[in-house]
Amino acid sequence: MSIFSGDSRTTWVQAFISGIPYAAHSGMQVVDMGKGHASLLLPARDTWTGDTTRNLIHPGCLSVLADTACGVAVGCALDEMEPFATLDLRMDYLRPPVANINTICRAECHRLSRSVAFVRGELFQLGQAEPVATVNATFMRATANTRRKDLKSAPTPSEAAANLIAPTSVESSHFITSVAADTPEVPALAGGRSPYVEFLNIHKQAQIDAGPVFRLPFKSELIGNPMLPAIHGGVLAGFGETAMLLHLIDTNPGIGVPRSVDFAIAYMRSAKPVDTFAQCSTIRQGNRVALAQVSIWQDDPQRPVANARGHFLMPREEE
């Protein structure tokens, strides 16, 4: 994350938000702050809609807002500014978030150890007394913040597919084993069904081996750390959650869009400003709830940038 040491806390927060391309692009605003806590507002936009049929915000938008607000809370808790990065993030969705309504995340850094910061928060929509979601996150303190030297030109979809190799760990053994270099791909959803998925421009490769691979094309407004640079951790969370939703739709033909119950992501390393890939599996599926997991990588599926799991409420037939 971009750190502006030496500034006052208020000046630092404003510089922090304006310095994050994704936060600036989405219009996030600081509405309250103090020692160890901060509140951020995400202005309503049609773009954030995840389900036009039910008029709901995409849960990935809440994850990006929560990750950003939690990061600001950590910065507000520090006496001296230093670089830090998200280790993991958990979202619990308490009720469906309505589209085209402003959303606020109130985050508090409740424990600051020598190496790790612990943050919790709640997300509200204007006009509602009860939160729509809660967040718990941990951040590693004093991380590297020098410009990365591992950047190469972004691979094309066919180049990335040609480089994929079989994972060897037990945890990831159900994921992809091979992909032909000429694997075709299509937009992940039909136009108009989910504006946020269209904003991310997620594409799906043809059904292969254990299931389709989803691709998140890189664009500059997805950057969360302009110093490294690196893709916003909240964007990775939104991509991973989207991939799991699309996977469940793919493996349950004819159903509506599942609804997120909870979501947890662990970050392995910072994501370079290149195309990002994801593949999912269903761990367990009952009549009403499914548990899915996703591996997110860039140039090698054996070196994921993040792994995530989530519970999803499956639509009833009449829904």
Q: Whole-model pTM?
A: 0.85
Domains of the chain: 9-141 (3.10.129.10), 157-313 (3.10.129.10)
- Burial of 134 from C-beta contacts in 10 A (0-12 / 13-18 / 19+): middle
pLDDT recorded at residue 149 = 67
Task: Note the pLDDT of residue 259.
Answer: 93
Residue ranges of E strands in 35-152: 37-42, 49-51, 56-57, 84-93, 103-112, 116-125, 133-141
pLDDT digits (tens, 9 = 90+) for 117-127: 999 999 999 88
What's the pLDDT at 282?
Answer: 95
Q: Is the dihedral of CA 155, 21, 197, 130 positive or negative?
A: positive
Q: Give me the amino acid identity at 14.
A: Q
Strands 203-205, 185-187: pairing kind? antiparallel
Tokens of 299: 């140039």
| pLDDT averaged over every residue in the chain | 85
Percent of all residues in the chain with a pLDDT value above 70, rounded to a whole number: 82
Please state, in angstroms and rounded to a whole number, the distance separating the CA atoms of residues 297 and 299: 6
Alpha-carbon distances of 121 from 7, 205, 275, rounded to whole Å: 25, 36, 30
Q: Note the helical H segments in 32-140.
A: 59-77
Residue whose entry in the numeric block shows the structure tokens 């699309």: 246
Question: Mean pLDDT over residues 282-305, rounded?
Answer: 95
Asked which of 184-198, 210-224, 281-295 is least confident by mean pLDDT, the reply is 184-198
Q: Can you tell me whether residue 259 is helix, strand or coil?
A: strand
Return the pLDDT at 245. Answer: 93
pLDDT score of 180: 45
How does residue 188 score in pLDDT terms, banded at 50, 70 and 90?
A: confident
pLDDT at 155 over 60: no
Q: With contact defined as beta carbons under 8 Å apart, do 296 and 274 qualify?
A: no
Nearest to 86 by CA among 263, 220, 269: 269
Distance of alpha carbon 125 from alpha carbon 114, whole angstroms: 34
Is the model more confident about 170 or about 64?
Answer: 64
Q: Is the pLDDT of residue 25 over 60?
A: yes
Instruction: Please give the pLDDT value at position 171.
Output: 39
